[in-house]
Structure 1
Amino acid sequence: MSLTGLNTVAVAQSKKVQTNAQPIITLYSAGDIADCRKTPAEQTMAAQTAKLISTDLARNKNAYVITLGDNTYPIGKPEEFNNCYDKTWGKFKAITLPSPGNHDYGVPMANGYYNYFDDLAGPGRRGYYKKTLGNWLLLSLNSNIKGQAMQEQKRWLKGVLAQRQSTCVMAFWHHPVFSSGGHGNVQAMREVWEMLADARVDLVLSSHDHDYERFAPLDKHGRPDNNGIRSFVVGTGGANLTSMLFVKDGSEIRQNDSHGVLKLQLRSNSYSWEFLSVTKPNQQGFTDQGDSNCH
């Protein structure tokens, strides 16, 4: 075969590999988002974080937006979703994977949240669901429910984890199990964390505290462990930022000066993260980035 023929075969094989390769999936996530009590929607920090997503989304077509609860303030009324959230993060509604927060439950049965997101919020208005993206299993959970409803969620989760086929798994909900923010550690999802750790889940995202924090991988007891879960608190979606208190074990980086969103890029067996910060004129915003393999 001529050199030209060899080159043609090589190019064809290269194209075949590129065609069959799993595309990188981009996620933009934050919680504690839309608050229009004192400012028109277009002037809020939620509008600024939405602008961050819009700008970066132009370069990442295979993308989704994740909300980590407290989508609106103060109590999740329908008009808050329609007149505040929808005018900011609502532009991403079709590609949004939402989760509810305690402020979304400020009205009975979180009707504002469920009426707005409808089928995107999962079946039966229970507030939890799963989605498979490439080689990743994503679990949106509800940290606001109690009693029998929480037990049903745990049974559902146990079944999903037992049947999983994805190599990489990420879960997200509102109340952080570990946090150095003002609310601190929240016990509501501690048993869920232990289930996820036993299943060697890779990532957990939450918000509730209005700050950004990244933890080293932690085991089921909250102790640093390279085989544990890496977690992030991303309560920087637009609501006023709040104080951080006692630094918890395993906290690697934290800040409460910059609003922004966490950008995750999911590959077939690994992921990378980058905090995209809302910057002020002539100032360089906070950033945090890194990468890791799945378990």
Structure 2
Amino acid sequence: MLLRLLGAAILGAGCVACADDSAVPPPGPPATVGNSRPNPTATGAVLVGAGDIGVCGETSDESTANLLDQIPGVVFTTGDNVYDDGTAKDFSSCFQPSWGRHRDRMRPAPGNHDYDTEDARGYFGYFGTAAGDPAKGYYSYNLGAWHIVVLNSNCDQIGGCFDESEQARWLAADLAATPTRCTLAYWHHPYFTSGGNHKPEKSMQALVEVLYAAGADVVVAGHNHNYERFGKQNPAYDPDDARGLRAFVVGTGGGGLYDFDTVAPNSESRTDDTHGVLKFTLDAESYRWEFIPVPGKTYTDEGTDVCH
């Protein structure tokens, strides 16, 4: 069934057409991302970010925003952009003063707290076209030589994430129609995690299987407020160095941190006491990752790998 989905071209390629219902729209994404075809010779494109971010009355989100001040490139988020309820007021009061100054270079993903406001209206109103179609919340773009996919793991809000769902069909068609060697996807609820607060999100399995079958390289999530990196593996958590997905959880943008539970198979590095951001340097056939901690913390994690 997955191979049939991958061969489908039901919904076309590239980014989802986006409707802007924002009262105060952002300037929009930088010129290096969007519907343009990937540049196969591009090197050094930067993608940096985290999830679980804005909290009024706390300073951790300001500390991670200060890290972004020193890092060029496109900023991603892995959901729960602001607490507690993702209202327009939450975004203006608890997100804008910190990460908001980078809004014009952000490509966000929605989290469950963003949907605590009906239809995530605060989220889509704040980010405008950069967040995709408000009825879907998933989209894709190209960055240098890479294809980047943003998924909506709030499955109940968009009709499900099962293998015949609209999002799964869109994902299969998008990947089949995009001629890149290197692909990275991010969303909120982690499929691979050792987190104690939130267990692996089984509802994302069908989408993870589509990514794996298409040869995607990297997946990134949030939801658990900690950092974790996995070795390359298939959707069954079996090691697969040839074509496995390298997974990261980076829920370290500012929300209170969570402990780990039993360490999951193939977990290679983790911390539950450090806020920070994850920086990817994306080259034509390879990538480098670096977890950058806030000042006063010493945990780091970095490495390189080649695309499938």
Task: Specify the TM-score bucket, using the shorter chain as the normaliser.
Answer: 0.7 to 0.9
CA contact (8 A) 2:41 2:145 kept: no
CA contact (8 A) 2:48 2:278 kept: yes
The match for 1:152 is 166
The match for 1:162 is 176
CA contact (8 A) 1:237 1:260 kept: yes
Aligned partner of 1:263: which letter? K
CA contact (8 A) 2:43 2:145 kept: no
Q: Compare the two structures and name the one with the higher helix fraction.
A: 1
| 168-177 vs 117-126, greater mean Cα deviation | 117-126
The partner residue of 2:146 within 136, 148, 151 is 136
Q: What whole-Å deviation, never above 9, does each CA across 1:116-175 have from its counterpart, x for those lacking one?
A: 001000124410000011211000000002373531111100111111211100000000
Aligned equivalents of 1:276, 1:251: Cα separation in 2: 19
The partner residue of 2:216 within 190, 195, 201 is 201
1:273 aligns with 2:283: no
CA contact (8 A) 1:175 1:188 kept: no
- Tell me: CA distance 1:149–1:191, structure 2 relative to 1, closer, same or farther (3 Å): closer
Q: Secondary structure at the match of 1:91?
A: helix
The partner residue of 2:75 within 65, 83, 89 is 65
The partner residue of 1:247 within 253, 263, 269 is 263
CA contact (8 A) 1:29 1:66 kept: yes
CA contact (8 A) 1:33 1:239 kept: yes
Q: Secondary structure at the match of 1:180?
A: coil
Aligned equivalents of 1:64, 1:251: Cα separation in 2: 27
How many residue pairs are counted as aligned between the two chains? 263
Q: What whole-Å deviation, never above 9, does each CA across 1:85-118 have from its counterpart, x for those lacking one?
A: 1111011111101000001000110111010001
- The unaligned stretches of length 5 or more in structure 1 are 1-19
Q: Secondary structure at the match of 2:100?
A: helix
Q: What whole-Å deviation, never above 9, does each CA across 1:7-29 have from its counterpart, x for those lacking one?
A: xxxxxxxxxxxxx9524111112
Aligned equivalents of 2:250, 2:298: Cα separation in 1: 16
Q: What whole-Å deviation, never above 9, does each CA across 1:230-275 have from its counterpart, x for those lacking one?
A: 0000000000001111100010011111100001100011000000
CA contact (8 A) 2:124 2:134 kept: no
Q: Secondary structure at the match of 2:155?
A: coil
The match for 2:230 is 215
- The unaligned stretches of length 5 or more in structure 2 are 1-39
- TM-score (norm: length of structure 1): 0.86
The match for 1:28 is 48
The partner residue of 2:304 within 245, 266, 291 is 291
The match for 2:193 is 179
CA contact (8 A) 1:35 1:73 kept: yes
CA contact (8 A) 1:136 1:166 kept: yes
Aligned equivalents of 2:160, 2:263: Cα separation in 1: 32
Over aligned residue pairs, what C-alpha RMSD do you find?
1.4
1:225 aligns with 2:236: no
The match for 1:99 is 109
Q: What whole-Å deviation, never above 9, does each CA across 1:159-203 have from its counterpart, x for those lacking one?
A: 111112111000000000011012121112111111111111000
Max radius of gyration: which structure?
A: 1
Shift in Å at residue 222 of structure 1? 1.7
CA contact (8 A) 1:274 1:288 kept: yes
CA contact (8 A) 1:100 1:127 kept: yes
Aligned equivalents of 1:241, 1:142: Cα separation in 2: 23
CA contact (8 A) 1:203 1:229 kept: yes
Paired-residue identity, %? 41
Aligned equivalents of 2:79, 2:135: Cα separation in 1: 15
- TM-score (norm: length of structure 2): 0.83
CA contact (8 A) 1:258 1:279 kept: no
Higher relative contact order (CA 8 A, sep 6+): 2
Q: Secondary structure at the match of 1:148?
A: coil
The match for 2:11 is none
